[in-house]
Amino acid sequence: MGATGEQYVVDEHGDRIAVFLPLREYEQLREDLHDLAMVAERQKEPTMEFGEFRKRYER
């Protein structure tokens, strides 16, 4: 994602009201937003130390 090549839709006052994005960039933004939503949703779940995780994983 970069600031180069963006194209904007402007209103009659010249204010930017929308942006055109390449589809791939739009899909990446949606995926990132979904990932952030999952992190926020799981933020209050209990955690465990890495050593404990490793013990459980190795069983």
Q: Indicate whether 51 belongs to any domain.
A: yes
Bridge partners of residue 18, in order along the sequence: 9
Q: What is the pLDDT of residue 26?
A: 92
pLDDT digit string, tens, across residues 9-57: 999 999 999 999 999 999 999 999 999 999 999 999 999 999 999 999 8
Task: For residue 27, give Cα distances in angstroms to 11, 19, 58.
Answer: 26, 14, 36
- CA dist 46 and 56 (Å) reads 15
Q: Indicate whether 45 belongs to any domain.
A: yes
Q: Indicate whether 1 belongs to any domain.
A: no
Q: Indicate whether 2 belongs to any domain.
A: no
Indicate left, alpha or beta for 5 from its phi (over 0: left) and psi (-120 to 50: alpha).
left
Q: Indicate whether 38 belongs to any domain.
A: yes
Number of domains, the chain: 1
Residues of the domain holding 24: 7-58
Q: Indicate whether 35 belongs to any domain.
A: yes
Q: Indicate whether 23 belongs to any domain.
A: yes
Q: Indicate whether 22 belongs to any domain.
A: yes
